[in-house]
Amino acid sequence: MTPVRILRLASGGDGVGRLEDGRAVFVPRTAPGDLVEVSSLREHSRFARARPGRLLEEGPDRVPPRCPHYTADECGGCQLQHLSLPAQQAARRSFVGDALRRLARLDVADPDLVPAARVFEYRTRVALAVGARGIGLRRYDRPDEIFALEKCHLAVPELMVLWGDLRPLGALLPPGLEKIGLRLDRSGGLHIVFEVAAGAGWSGGPRLLAELQRQGHAPTIWWHPEGGATRAVAGAGEAYPATAFEQVHPEMGDQARTFAIQQLGSVGGQRVWDLYAGIGETTAALAEAGANVVSVEADRRAVAAAEAAGPVARRHAARVEDVLGQLGTPDLVVTNPPRTGMDGRVTGALERGRPQRVVYVSCDPATLARDLTRLPSFRLTLARSFDLFPQTAHVETVAVLERAS
């Protein structure tokens, strides 16, 4: 065992210390100021990764984790539950600032962060893996190992009550099951999404629903075969697209979206692109404010739901990079891409189209920084982070880009 003093946190939440030879060593579940014994070094030429062992001294920001799974099962769902909330928030701010300085080469301070009122029991979506030892979550440094989940302290109580009643019904679950998604939608509807291997069949949706109804639940049950389309097989039908993207922390997601729209300025009569539009909440707000909105979202169910909810907008059910030639020229752009960031063809189109302002909503500081380097015609005028994912190393950031004169 090698003792290591933890100096800071890396962007993924691992503590960073130094080995005797000067190399950085990354150690999960540690806090700045900790003195910890490390083992199982995975050596690289310039750094190493290690497992934490005996904690010799505690750093000042270390706290007992609330969730038993965090320590007993080494749950990979959270990365920072062992840190005080102020230390977590400072770390998430630093992850954004470090990416902008180091990767985008910008001279900026760590952005302000809007705190969340709820730091536990906020997630309205939970993804469970299926393994030989049960249904649950993956371990943080052994993702091929799955432990049986009793309760996730990040999930809203409605989902955990549903999970508590679903767990004993294993005999009624479909064959070939690979993942289970649990979701609470905006109207309070519950959804269970079964992701199964290609070719698997199942007709047990109505029976499972009946069992859950006897326990007071009324979920919609969805069937999602690998490589196939998702369809409702029992319950309330397809009124809500349970597989469509929506922020897992709705209250904070609403705050980030409102802030992003405000940063566009006056949109009345303006041609506005809403890229990676999800279920259309940003599109709706822009259209109601008088903008001429062009909305692009790859999930056809999400687009159909947005069209049904209104208001009227020009919508494309396609990948953004596939319809760039059909969108015209924008005055303003709001973009909220997945964690992988924007495709190079999209940043190229923004460069050529040269809108006056781009508001970029990002859940990954590294891909945000990368995409900023692909937009040399724009300058970053404001970045603000939102604490959408407490207890984790993830953070949402709204970046405002102005066209350089």
- pLDDT tens for the chain, 405 residues: list them: 789 999 999 999 999 999 999 999 999 999 999 999 998 878 888 899 999 999 999 999 999 999 999 999 999 999 999 999 999 999 999 999 999 999 999 999 999 999 999 999 999 999 999 988 899 999 998 888 999 999 999 999 999 999 999 999 999 999 889 999 999 998 899 999 999 987 778 899 999 999 999 999 999 999 988 888 888 899 976 567 777 788 999 999 999 999 999 999 999 999 999 999 998 999 999 999 999 999 999 998 889 888 888 887 899 999 999 999 999 999 999 999 999 999 999 999 999 998 999 999 999 999 999 999 999 999 999 999 999 999 999 999 999 999 996
Q: What residues have CB less than 8 Å from 348, skipping those under 6 apart?
A: 374
Sheet containing strand 112-114, strands side by side: 112-114, 378-386, 396-403, 357-362, 332-335, 271-275, 292-297, 314-317
Neighbours of 181 (CB within 10 A): 18
Q: Report d(CA 127, CA 217) in Å as an integer.
A: 19
Structural domains of the chain ordered from first start: 1-62 (2.40.50.140), 125-234 (2.40.50.1070), 250-403 (3.40.50.150)
Q: Three-class SS string for 47-102?
A: EEEEEEEEEEECCCCECCCCCHHHHHCCECCCCCCCECHHHHHHHHHHHHHHHHHH
Residue 226, pLDDT score: 86
**CB contact at 8 A, 302 and 319:** no
Residue 174, pLDDT score: 93
Cα–chain center distance at 162: 22
Q: Report d(CA 400, CA 259) in Å as an integer.
A: 10
Q: What phi and psi, each to the nearest 5 degrees, are found at residue 308?
A: -65, -35
Neighbours of 390 (CB within 10 A): 24
Residue 207, pLDDT score: 96
